[in-house]
Amino acid sequence: MALINIDTGKCNLSYACVRICPVNAIKVEAHRDYPEVMHNACIGCGHCLKVCSPGAISFMDSKEETKALLGSEIKVAAICGPSISGEFHDITDYRKFVDMIRALGFEYVVEASFGVDLVAHKYKELFDDFKGKYYITANCPSVVSFIQKFHPELTENLAPIVSPMIAMTKVVRKKYGENVKVVYIGPCIESKKESEKISNDGKVDSVLTFTELRQLFSEYGITEKKVEFSDFDPPIGYKGSLYPISTGILEAADIDQLLFSGNVITAEGRNNMLEAVKQFEKHIDSIKKHFNLFYNEGCIMGPGTSRGGEKYKRHALVLDYVKKRLLDFDMNTWKNEIREYSTLDMSVKFKADDQRLPFPDEEKIQEVLQVIGKENNVDEIGCASCGYASCRDFAIAVAQGLAKTEMCLTFTLKNRHDYIKTLRETNQKLAETQSALRKSEKNARRDQQLARESFETIRTMLEKLPSSVVLVDHELKVIQANKSFINILDEEVRMIEDVIPGLEGADLKTLLPYNFHNLFSYVLSQDHNIINRDLHFNDILYNVSIFTIRKNKVVGAVIRDLYVPEVRKEEVIKRVTDVIDKNLELVQNIGFLLGEGASETEAMLNSIIESYKMPENPEKDGE
C-alpha cells in the first residue's frame, strides 16, 4: 500500500509538494497537470503534507488495521513514542492518557523510552570502540531511507543498530510473550514502511500516528474525564524519555557532546539534514565526527503530530514530563532490566536501494535551459521558487521527466507578460472592431430604416396606381402585388388574399391562366422584355408589359384594362398618334405625288385626335 497519496479532486495545482520534496519523489510529467508520487523514491518525510493547503495529500491510514487487531482474541500491546508529552499537552495527566489507550482495547501500554535507553547504550559502545569508521545514527526512518535511496554509497556508514521502535518491540515480546501483537504509536509516518521490513521478534504489526490515535479517541468517544489513572506497563525508561529532542538519545547514554572532547555532531531539520549528509559524503575525513541526524526538528515535530505545533513549547513540555517522571524513579530496577534486555540482538544490516534516475545528456539539459531562458546564467543559484537549488538542477529534473517548464517562475512570468501584452493588443483590436461594428450596425439600421421607408413609399405608390402591378421571383412566386392586380383576378382567387395578405408568396400559376403566366416565364428565361402586349383575360382586353428587374431572378408587370374609358382614350390617342407619325413619314416620301392631298389627310387625322381629346361631358366641364 502506498505511503503517500494525492487526491486530484482536491489538488489546486500549486505544486508546493513538488517544490518541497527533498528527493524529487513527486513528479509532474509534461502531459499531465496533477503531481504524482513516485512511491519507491519517497522517504516518508511528510513535508508534502505540511505544505498542501487544500489537504489533497494524505498518508497510509492504519486505523482499520489496528481495529482489526484489537478485535481479535490475541493480546495487543501499544508502544507509545516518548513524544506524547509534546503532542498531548491537552491531557492534564499522562496517566489519564495511558488509560485512554487501554480503553481502546490494548492489553499492555508501554513507553518506547526504555527501548531508547537500550539503543543509546549500543551507540555509546559503538562510538567508544572507534576503529576509524564514522557512522550516521539510524534512529530516524526518513534519514535511513534517504541514504539508502539517494546516497547508497553511505549505506555502510549507517550505524548497524535498530531504531528504538524495533528495540522496544523486541523487549515487549520477551516480556509479554512472542505471540503478542504490537502497535506502535508515534510521530513518524515512515515508521509505517519501516515496520514492513522486519520479520523477526522486532516486527511491528501496525503503526499509528498521534493524529490517527486522536481520531480513534474521537470515534470511540474516549475522553480524559471518562478514565482513571493508569501507569505504563514495565519496563520503564530512564533518560530515554528525552528522545523527542534530537540530542536526547545521546544524553540518554551520557555520550559526550562537548565541543572539544565530543565526537558527535547533531543536525535536525530538512535543510540541515540534507547538507549534513552531503558534507559527510564529501568531507568526513576532515570533519572526523559521527553524525546524529533527524529529518524533522526532533520527533516532537514529526509529520504524524497535530498541525500548528510549536517546537519550543513542545520542547519545554518534554522536559517537564521527564523531570516529573524522574522524581521518584527506581534506578535499581531500571539497571537490572537494562542488564536483562541488553542480551537482545539490536543489530541490523542495511541494504542500499538506489532510486537515483539516470543523468540526462548535456544536450537535453541545454535544451531545457534555452526554453526557460536560462542558457546564459547556468552558474547562478536562481530564485529557487521551483524547489530546486539552481536553474541547472531544475533543467535536469525536467529532462528526467520529474518536472515541467511551467514550474519555473521566471518562465511562467515571461509567458504571462507575453500573454498580457498579446491580450492587450487583442483587446485593443477587439475594441476597434467593436467600434467599427457599432458604426456599421448604426449604418445598417439607418439603411434598414431607409429601405423600410422606401419600401413603404413604393408600396403606397403601387397602391395608388390605376394600373395593375405585380412582381414575381424566378419560381413565379409573388413578391408584391397592388390592389388593382388582385381585383383583376377571379373571385375565388381573390379569396386567397384573405389568407395571404398581398398574395405574397402565392404561386402565379394558380392565379393566371397558362397563356398569361407563360409570358412571365419567357421574360425570366430569355431576359427579353414584353412591351404593350394585348391579351384577353376574363372577357377583358388587357395591355400587358413585362420587364426584367433582376436578370433571371425577378420580373415585374404593368397590366392595364383597355376597357376602362381613361385607358381606352389614352390608348386610342397613342395609337392614332403612332398612325399619324407613320403616315406623315409616308406622306413626306410621296408628297410630291399627292400635293395638297397630304395636307387634307393631316387635317383629317388631327381633327380625330382633337375630337378624342375633348371632354366626354362638356356640360359638366363647363360648370
Contacts 24+ apart (CB under 8 A), 97-102: 97/224, 98/230, 98/231, 98/232, 99/227, 99/228, 99/229, 99/230, 100/217, 100/222, 100/223, 100/224, 100/227, 101/185, 101/213, 102/227, 102/230
CA distance 42 to 2: 10
Average the pLDDT over 592-598 and give the result.
Answer: 46
pLDDT tier, 368 (very low <50, low <70, confident <90, very high otherwise): confident
In this predicted structure, the answer to whether residue 187 has a pLDDT above a threshold of 90 is yes
153-180 burial, b for 16+ CB within 10 Å, e for fewer? ebbebbbebbbbbbbbbbbbbebbeeeb
Banded pLDDT at 594 (limits 50, 70, 90): very low
pLDDT at position 618 is 45
Matching residue, cell 390605376: 466
Answer yes or no: is pLDDT of 149 > 50. Answer: yes
Rounded Cα distance between 126 and 111, Å, is 25
Rounded CA-CA distance 601/622 in Å is 31
- Which amino acid does the sequence have at 331? M
Which tens digits make up the pLDDT trace of 484-513? Answer: 888 888 777 667 777 777 788 888 888 888
pLDDT tens digits along 392-438: 877 887 888 777 776 776 666 555 555 566 677 777 788 888 888 88
- Reported for 526-531, long-range contacts at CB under 8 A and 24+ positions apart, including other chains, are 527/551, 527/552
Average pLDDT, the chain: 85
Residue 65 has pLDDT above 80, yes or no: yes
Domain chopping of the chain, boundaries? 1-59, 60-341, 466-563, 575-622
Rounded (5°) CA angle 151-157-159: 125
Q: What is the DSSP letter of 564?
A: S
Predicted local confidence at residue 623, as pLDDT: 41
Question: Is the predicted pLDDT of residue 547 greater than 70, yes or no?
Answer: yes
The H or E element that residue 471 is part of is strand 468-473
- Of 216-220, 595-599, 618-622, highest mean pLDDT: 216-220
CA nearest to 112, candidates 282, 276, 244, 304 = 244
> For residue 496, what pLDDT is reported?
73
- The 3-class SS string of 185-242 reads EECCCCHHHHHHHCCCCCCCCEEEEHHHHHHHHHHHCCCHHHCCCCCCCCCCCCHHHH
Average pLDDT over residues 87-96: 90
The yes-or-no verdict on residue 602 having pLDDT over 90 is: no
DSSP secondary structure letter of residue 91: S
Specify the pLDDT at position 370: 76
Identity (one letter) of the amino acid at 377? N
pLDDT, residue 545, reads 92
Average of per-residue pLDDT across 512-530:
90
Q: Would you give the end-to-end CA distance of the chain in angstroms? A: 121
Between residues 33 and 119, the one the model is more confident about: 119
pTM: 0.66
Q: What does the pLDDT read at residue 523?
A: 92
* Torsion angle defined by CA atoms of residues 139, 140, 142 and 145, in that order, rounded to the nearest 10 degrees: -10
Which CATH superfamily includes the segment(s) 466-563?
PAS domain (3.30.450.20)
DSSP labels for 275-286? HHHHHHHHHHHH
DSSP letter (8 states) at residue 33: S
Give the model's pLDDT for residue 448. 74
Residue 176 has pLDDT above 60, yes or no: yes
CA–CA separation, 323 vs 242, rounded Å? 10
What is the third-level CATH fold of 1-59?
Alpha-Beta Plaits (3.30.70)
Return left, alpha or beta for 579; rule: phi > 0 is left, psi -120 to 50 is alpha, else beta.
alpha
**The domains spanning 1-59 and 466-563 adopt the same CATH topology:** no
pLDDT of 268 strictly over 50: yes
The residue ranking higher by pLDDT, 257 or 387, is 257
Question: What is the tens place of the pLDDT at every residue in 2-59?
Answer: 999 999 999 998 888 988 899 999 988 877 889 999 999 999 999 999 999 999 999 9
Q: How buried is 181 (Cβ within 10 angstroms: 0-12 exposed, 13-18 middle, 19+ buried)?
A: buried
Cell numbers 549528509 correspond to 277
